[in-house]
Amino acid sequence: MFHRIFSFSAAAAATAALVLAQPTTTRPAELQLYSAISREPDPARKLPLLDQWAALYPQSDYQKERNLYYISCYATMEGNALQPGAQSDTISAGAEAARAMLAKAMALFALEMKPPAVKPEDWKTAWEEAVHQAHSTLAAIAFNQKDYPKAETELLALLEDKPDDAATAFQLGSVIVSERDTSRYPAAIYYLARAVTAAGPGALNPGGRQATEDYLERIYSNYHGSLAGLVEVKSAASQAPALPADWKIQSIKEISEARIATEEQFAKDHPDIALWRNLKDNLSASDGDTYFKESVKDRELPSFKATVISQPDARTIIVSIDTTGAAEATLRLDSPLKVSLNAGTEIEFTGVPESFAREPFMVVFSQAKQKRLP
C-alpha cells in the first residue's frame, strides 16, 4: 500500500512540473519554493521546505500536492530509519516522522485532500496503511533500542486495529518475553497462541507457524512446567480478540504452592495416609533397604485406616492404605479372625513391619492387631 502512497507523490511532482510550465501564475515566489521542493531528493531536507511553504502560503492552490509531499516525506523517512546500518540521526528523524504521521493522519488523509484520480476507498485504505506503518516503525525502533514497553505500546495499537494479524501478535508476545518479567508470561503466551491459531489473510505461512508453535511450547513449558493445558489455552486465545481481563495461566511456582497447600491440608485431614506415603517414598528410594532396617523394621507404627483387598485366611488380611486402592500391606494377625471380611471393608490396625518388597510394593506387618472392625 505504501507503493500507492509513493505513486501519489510522483503524481504530485508531475503536477508541479505542469504548473511550473504555466507563465500566468500570480505567485512566482511560491512557484520558486514549489520548484525547490520538487527538486530536493532528501526527504529530511524537503520537510523544512514544506513547513516553510505551509507557513507562507497556508491557503495555496497546491494544497493537495503539498499534502502528498508530506505523506511521501514521512513514509520515506520511516523506511530509511529501518534500513540496516541506519545512523542515529536517520533513526531519530524516522521516529519523528512516524509520530508526525500519527498526529496529522486525519488531516493528511482528509477527503478534501484526495487527489482527483484516486478512488475514495483507496484513499481511506492508504490512510489506514500509513497509520499502521507509523506504529510499525515506532515499534521496530523501540525494539531495536530495547525499549520494550514502548514497543509493546505500539504493537498493541496495531493489534487493536487488526486483531487477527499473526505477525504482530507474535512480535508482541516476543516483546513481552524480552521484558523478562515472568509474571507477564501469561500475556505473552496469549499473543503467541493468537499468532499460532490465526487464520485468514493475517495468518502465518506454514514455516512461520511451526517456528512460532515451537517458541510458544518452549515459553509455555518453562512457565507452566509442562505442555499440559496448552491445547485449551490456544483454543481460548483464538476466540478472544483482545487479552481477557481474567486471563490466567498457573506458573510452576503457583502449581507447586497449590500442591504443597493441598498436601498439607490432606495431611491434617488424613495423618495416617500422609505417614504411609512418607514411609512408602522412603522405602521406594534407592536406599530403601537401609532405611527399612534402621528406621522401620520391628518397630510398632501408629495405627492406620485401611480397606480390605482380600482375606486369604483367618490370620492374614491384605489391605490398601492409600487412596489408590492398590494392595500394599499384608497383616499377619496376632489372633485369628472370628469373621470373614469382604473386599472393601474398612478397618483400623496397628502392627510391626517385618519385611517389605519394592516391586510390587508390599509391607508385611506381624503382630497386627485390629483396633476397629465393622
Give domain limits for the chain.
1-140, 146-261, 270-372
Report the topology of domain 270-372: OB fold (Dihydrolipoamide Acetyltransferase, E2P) (2.40.50)
**pLDDT reported for residue 368:** 80
Percent helix, strand and coil across the chain, each to the nearest 5: 60, 15, 25
Q: Are 167 and 155 in contact (CB under 8 A)?
A: no
**pLDDT reported for residue 69:** 92
Residues 6+ apart with CB under 8 A from 205: none
**pLDDT reported for residue 31:** 86
**pLDDT reported for residue 34:** 87
**pLDDT reported for residue 199:** 93
User: C-alpha grid cell for residue 294?
Assistant: 534402621
Q: Are 214 and 206 in contact (CB under 8 A)?
A: no
Mean pLDDT by 10 residues, the chain (374 residues): 40 42 61 89 94 92 90 94 95 97 96 90 92 95 96 96 95 96 96 96 94 97 96 96 95 93 91 93 94 93 93 94 91 89 92 93 88 57
**pTM strictly above 0.85:** no
**pLDDT reported for residue 5:** 43
**pLDDT reported for residue 1:** 32
Residues 6+ apart with CB under 8 A from 207: none
Could you give the maximum distance between any two Cα atoms of the chain, in Å? 127
